[in-house]
A = this chain, B = another copy of it.
Amino acid sequence: VKQRFTHGAMKTGELALIERIRRRVKTSGVKEPELRLGIGDDCAILQPPAGHEVLVTTDFSLEARHFRRDRHPARSVGHRVLARGLSDLAAMGAEPLAAFLSLALPKDVAGDAVWVDGFLDGLLELAEACGVPLAGGDTSESPGDAVLADITLLGSAPIGTSLRRAGARAGDLLYCTGALGGAGAELESLMQKPAQFAEATVQEKHPHLFPQPRLGVGWLLRELGLASACIDMSDGLSTDLAHVCAASEVAAEVEWGKLPVSPLLRRSSPAARERAVLHGGEDYELLFTASADRRVPRRLAGVSLNCIGKIVVKKRGQPKVMLVDADGKRRPLEPAGWEHLR
């Protein structure tokens, strides 16, 4: 039941994986002055900028729940693990400080250098693009046959300035970044047939496989004091807008005709398009509110901003969110985000 390992035996398993990660991190080129001590001691040491508060988020990425190894290329899995956490920092306008990866692999995957390197490629490429060092974590053999990852992200922002879900007021306008429904559309076609995915493919065209956390937009919204409330759309517009309304104790009206529909939904049926835009999560676009007297630019940090509705007073017994159709008909928009994969 209990087994001793020799140092040699450990080398081939857990230690070998740690070594592989450490070697890759050393050569990944990310060097941040805030990271005082990285992988290799009992804890990592960070020194956030003076006058900043520290933001923390952790997110599971579990095979068969959040991704499938027969559908998602390893590089996409690594990218998505980190993107989930970075998107939470973006939603609060924070600058990333460091990432921590807990990774448990089944024995056959740990021994598959191509898969492990692909995973690390995806994670470290995004880390480098966003200037966030991988500062530590944990590794283990998975108890089953599923790849298990948990990512912790630390970020910082000047004290008291972080964007929150609470803060939207009746009269505020409602905005979103980028386009909606692309991740849902890509996931649907991915489930129908595995990705014929060339490593060189432009990542921007793959909102599900390679979502782009909106760190630049979030940072500017906070720095410019533009947003009164903000959240990232990981669960879908209907669910995440309900979170903002609940935290802010307000209601909202969304205009269908103003929603920026992803070009990936061009050929979809109206029903599929509506489902992906309103409820399809994992677009990782930002949803935010701003006072009606603030001028919100059409683009920020290279990303389009669209006004999609407004915040109204919450009335007892009334639905939190109403959807206004093109012909002016109003109907309640119930939270109905995707439960990802089963």
Contacts and interface: CB of A to CB of B under 8 A. Distances in A.
Interface stretch (A24-32, A157-165, A220-228, A307-315): A157-165
B88 A43 contact: yes
B142 A56 contact: no
Contact of A62 (B136, B140, B165, B338): B140
Interface stretch (A45-53, A72-80, A257-265): A45-53
A56 B43 contact: yes
Contacts of A187: 2
A62 B339 contact: no
Name the interface size band of chain A.
Answer: 35 or more
Contacts of A138: 58-60, 150
Q: How many copies does the complex hold?
A: 2
A141 interface: yes
Interface in A224-281: 231-232, 247, 275, 279
A247 B40 CA distance: 9
Contacts of A342: 1-3
A79 B255 CA distance: 49
Given A37-B164, A41-B92, A43-B153, 10 more contacts: A7-B336, A41-B165, A43-B88, A56-B98, A56-B135, A56-B154, A57-B136, A60-B138, A62-B148, A65-B141
